[in-house]
């Protein structure tokens, strides 16, 4: 597997030059755009296959939205979450929010765009740093890594330059969609985006979801159904306005972040983590998309690719 991963990295390394490191958050602009890492997490805990710069640390950014959504659902129950936030895919960029200002619109499209994520974070119970600590704790649990922390420099940089996020949060507050102290909520959101991981952590987070979200108890939905819901949400909304094409070309529930990470939920209790910080025009990792496309094609991991199933059936 490692040989295959190394080969796929080299086949896609050239895509780095099609992308650009995110610079709208100044601290992210310092990322080394040459780095590429991949980890596939197999079905059991010990099985991790890695290649390239798999131990390079980077920030979760939007991948944290999956985790804060889970924490908010655990705190409120599933019905209360979807009373406030939609479950619809969107063809808008991740930081769009003009539709929210329309008089008849009272819900962000889904919990994975910025406005939806800020809103779900606001629903997490707790004061001050408590909301963030819950997100960090669950991240550590999902990744089986108690050492995960956050990058203070990236957090402060996001806080200083986060005018767009601030605007949408205050707009939601003015419409009584978002409750609580807006600055406190934003602080938690900026911090959760700054949680630092490597591709091994991402792959294990993918595996946690694929394996059925063990230990997650949410009112109004069983653990199995929550895992199905989460995979569906990632499949339809996880890659922003590229989600539909990605669903066809890659066919794996995934979430990207502007730090350059992609977390993928592979079938049968497996996960994948990819890192390469040069981003395409949708805010997704340029080489990362190439790598996951080639890997899922070669190993028939696309959920619409029946050849894998055929192999499994033939061997029984
Ligand atoms: O809120 C922001 O703009 C960033 N902290 C996160 C955005 C992000 O990762 C979008 N992902 N592709």
Note the pLDDT tens digit of each residue in 77-106. Answer: 999 999 999 998 877 888 888 889 998 989
- Decide if pLDDT at 287 tops 90: yes
Ligand 1 site, residue 116, Cβ cutoff 6 A: no
The reported pLDDT for the residue numbered 128 is 83
CA distances (Å), origin 33, targets 53, 79, 225, 273: 11, 41, 38, 17
Give the whole-angstrom CA distance, residue 103 versus residue 125. Answer: 28
Ligand 1 site, residue 158, Cβ cutoff 6 A: yes
What tokens were used for 112? 């994975």
Contact, 69 vs 60, CB < 8 A? no
Q: How large is the average pLDDT for residues 136-142?
A: 98
Query: Using one digit for the tens of pLDDT, what is the confidence trace for 29-81?
Result: 888 889 999 999 998 767 899 999 999 999 999 999 999 999 999 999 999 99
The reported pLDDT for the residue numbered 309 is 53
**Which of 253, 211, 200, 274 lies closest to 49 in space, CA to CA?**
200
Mean pLDDT rounded to a whole number for the chain: 92
Which of 274-300 are b and which e, b meaning 16 or more Cβ less than 10 Å from the residue's Cβ?
bbbbbbbebbbbbbbbbbbbbbbeebb
Strand-pair category, 37-41 with 270-275: antiparallel
The reported pLDDT for the residue numbered 316 is 43
Task: Point out the residues that are catalytic.
Answer: 62, 65, 189, 240, 258
- Decide if pLDDT at 173 tops 60: yes
- Decide if pLDDT at 310 tops 60: no
The better pLDDT of the pair 20, 255 is held by 255
Chain-centroid distance of CA 35 in Å reads: 19
Query: Using one digit for the tens of pLDDT, what is the confidence trace for 3-17?
Result: 999 999 999 999 999
Query: Using one digit for the tens of pLDDT, what is the confidence trace for 22-35?
Result: 888 888 888 888 99
Residue of 257, 277, 285, 289 to test ligand 1 pocket, by largest number of atoms within 8 Å of CB: 257
The reported pLDDT for the residue numbered 45 is 66
Contact, 118 vs 178, CB < 8 A? yes
pLDDT band at 313 (very low <50, low <70, confident <90, very high): very low
The reported pLDDT for the residue numbered 94 is 83
From-to residues of CATH 3.40.710.10 in the chain = 2-61+196-299, 64-193
Strand order in the sheet with 37-41: 48-52, 37-41, 270-275, 261-266, 254-256
Q: How large is the average pLDDT for residues 201-215?
A: 95
The better pLDDT of the pair 289, 19 is held by 289
DSSP-assigned letters across all residues of 148-207: --B-HHHHHHHHHH-HHHHHHHHHHHHTTSS-S-HHHHHHHHHHHHTBEE-HHHHHHHHH
Chain-centroid distance of CA 316 in Å reads: 35
Please give the CATH superfamily to which domain 2-61+196-299 belongs.
DD-peptidase/beta-lactamase superfamily (3.40.710.10)
Please give the CATH superfamily to which domain 64-193 belongs.
DD-peptidase/beta-lactamase superfamily (3.40.710.10)
- State the Cα angle at 301 between 2 and 71, rounded to 5°: 95
Contact, 185 vs 116, CB < 8 A? no
pTM: 0.94
Contact, 169 vs 112, CB < 8 A? no
The better pLDDT of the pair 244, 139 is held by 139
* Whole-angstrom Cα Rg for the chain: 18
The better pLDDT of the pair 2, 70 is held by 70
Ligand 1 site, residue 256, Cβ cutoff 6 A: yes
Ligand 1 centre distance from Cα of residue 239 (Å): 11
Ligand 1 centre distance from Cα of residue 258 (Å): 5
Ligand 1 site, residue 257, Cβ cutoff 6 A: yes
pLDDT band at 282 (very low <50, low <70, confident <90, very high): confident
Ramachandran area for residue 48 (φ above 0: left; ψ -120 to 50: alpha; else beta): beta
- Note every long-range contact of 185-188, with CB atoms under 8 Å and residues 24 or more positions apart, other chains counting: 185/118, 185/121, 185/122, 185/131, 186/118, 186/159, 186/162, 187/132, 187/159, 188/121, 188/124, 188/131, 188/132, 188/135
Ligand 1 centre distance from Cα of residue 156 (Å): 15
């Amino acid at each position: 597997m490692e040989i295959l991963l190394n080969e796929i990295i080299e086949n896609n390394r050239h895509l780095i030059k099609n992308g650009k490191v995110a610079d709208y958050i100044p601290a992210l602009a310092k990322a080394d755009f040459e780095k590429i890492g991949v980890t596939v997490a197999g079905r059991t805990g010990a099985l991790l296959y890695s290649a390239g710069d798999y131990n390079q640390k980077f920030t979760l950014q939007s991948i944290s939205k999956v985790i804060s959504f889970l924490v908010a659902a655990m705190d409120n129950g599933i019905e209360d979450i979807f009373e406030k936030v939609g479950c619809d895919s969107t063809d808008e960029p991740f930081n769009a929010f003009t539709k929210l200002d329309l008089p008849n619109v009272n819900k962000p499209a889904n919990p994975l765009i910025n406005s939806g994520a800020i809103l779900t974070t606001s629903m997490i119970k707790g004061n001050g740093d408590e909301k963030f600590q819950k997100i960090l704790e669950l991240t550590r649990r999902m990744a089986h890594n108690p050492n995960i922390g956050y990058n203070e420099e990236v957090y402060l940089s996001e806080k200083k330059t986060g005018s767009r996020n601030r605007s949408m949060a205050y707009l939601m507050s003015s419409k009584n969609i978002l409750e609580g102290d807006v600055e406190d909520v934003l602080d938690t959101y900026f911090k959760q985006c700054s949680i630092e991981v490597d591709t091994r952590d991402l792959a294990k987070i993918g595996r946690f979801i694929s394996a059925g979200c063990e230990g997650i108890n949410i009112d109004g939905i069983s653990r199995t159904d929550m895992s199905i819901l989460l995979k569906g949400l990632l499949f339809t909304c996880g890659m922003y306005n590229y989600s539909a094409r990605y669903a066809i070309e890659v066919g794996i529930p995934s979430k990207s972040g502007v730090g350059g990470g992609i977390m993928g939920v592979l079938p049968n209790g497996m996960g994948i983590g990819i890192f390469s910080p040069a981003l395409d025009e949708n805010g997704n990792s340029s080489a990362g998309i190439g790598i996951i496309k080639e890997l899922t094609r070669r190993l028939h991991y696309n959920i619409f690719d029946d050849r894998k199933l055929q192999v499994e059936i033939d061997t029984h």
